[in-house]
Structure 1
Amino acid sequence: MVHSNASFDTWTSALAISRYRLGVPLIRTKHNVKRIRTNWTNRWYYGKAINHLIAPSHAVVEDLQRSEIISNEKINYIPYGIPIDKIEIYRNGRSDARRALEIPDDAEVVAYISRLTRRKDPATLVRAALQVAKTRPNLRLLVVGGGDAGLRAELEDIAAGSSVVEFWGHRDDVPRILAATDIFVLPSLTEAFGLAPLEAMLQGVATIVSDAEGFRDFVEDGINGLVFPKGDIAALAHAIERVFSDVELRNKIAVAGECTVRERFFAERMVDDIEKLYCRVLDK
């Protein structure tokens, strides 16, 4: 049996299995939301060469079903899980984390912790933060992550003249940053799933995400996080203001978010589901 995680790997495996008539089952995990073209090569690839597809979110399931060249029997919904026991949780508390990061105790901290890519739309967050800061002068937005240097320059231009937005680049102390954070935001335009919000939720940070398709699997608006229409600056600003203004809401979604991750999105559950699929495939 071969289990691949990328298009090139799956194609080369499929061609080798077919060419040499190996009769080896082929499984692929599809990690993105991208329209599948219904040409003859994909009809062979998805229709005959691949035995099973793993979709980590309902968004990916729907993407596969829309192609109309993949039977439902081949599609297996197995959401990602994170290794909870191995993820470092900062245990020294918020005040200690802020002291180490030189963040004032009275600062209202919003964090974006992810790669800088246009797909994740950090520009909407920067603009929303600048809007919120007009009435909340202690607001600070930490933009954490490497990536597109051109995009970073554009974001710096948007925030020019303001002390609200800080660009921290790639960091190895993300657990400490999360411990110092009041609100985590990921405003993606499209997302197959989204592991960064899960890690923030695990650390008990109130989380706001866009309504990008992949977040639907684990964020329920007003229950364990807040959801805003992607690209909507005013709506995101309102969500940030709402969380800061309502301490009860902030605590509620933070606690519920952590419970969501611990109860449903842990690595052992994902591994168990994949092993069950392996057994079904090999039993045939």
Structure 2
Amino acid sequence: MCSLKTSERNHSSKRDRGGYLNTYLKKISCKLGGIMQRFTKTKLFKVLIVAMLLLFLISANPYNFFNPFRSIVTTVVLPFQKFFYSVSFGYGNMKDFLGSIGQLKDENKRLMIEKQELLARNAMLSDVENENTILREQISTLPREKYDLLAANIVSQDPNGMGNWLEIDKGSDDGLSVGMSVIISKGILLGRIQEISASSSKIILLTNSKSTVNAMTSNNGTKGIVKGEYGLGIILDMVLQTDPIQIGDNVVTSGIGGEFPRGLFVGVIQEVHNSDDNLFQQAVISSPVQVSRLQMVFVVKNEK
């Protein structure tokens, strides 16, 4: 009944793998059906049916007469009940366990997102706190008793990284003008305003090769001119050979010419040597200014 005709075999040989699988499954189904048919005709099957009916009648019968038999049936059936109950209970627990894993994953993902948000928020707060601390330190060391100062934020710097100039967010609308001195904390000279617009200003730094400042040493008044070294540093030039100058001397603005207020700190003498023509002395100045780390500067509007 389950056999295939020759024509069907020839036809099936032309089918794809899916056809072969269907044919194979049909054969297995036919074989299992035959086995079940033969099993239902055996004495063992009949005995099992009768035994199951008896067990059901005994366990369901309410009369005490069947109590001894019911006890035997319970003893026989109980291990199987325990087995099937434990399997079903284990399946339920496993289902709950797998469900809880999914919930834990979702909860863990949510907690990770919250953690990242908190870290970002703490980083921002820490950055703001550091900025406020730096600003307080700068303001506390500013020579406000001597100058009328205006705070300004740096909005851009020399893109070549040469330290030649920077731009601030204050301009003529804020009362600024070309030539005004720009300082940082402790009255350290940074440069002066070279170009200006209504809302911004461009500052030429001391390190710019076009920058010149009349200066002197603070301990003995030796005078010279501070010049920029192409964005790399600053020197004190045009110092007379007869004037005393030595390593460690502080250099400040002299106020000569009126371009810069007197007494603004420039730097410390680091090296001293003669000029190329041996007519003057020349000194390398170490400046405390780190332009790349600056965020705010102060413009000297007037002297008090």
Identify the structure with bigger relative contact order (alpha carbons < 8 Å, sequence gap 6+).
1
TM-score of the aligned structures, taking structure 1 as reference length:
0.23
- TM-score for both structures, normalised by structure 2: 0.22
**Structure ranking higher in strand proportion:** 2
- Which entry has the higher C-alpha Rg, 1 or 2? 2
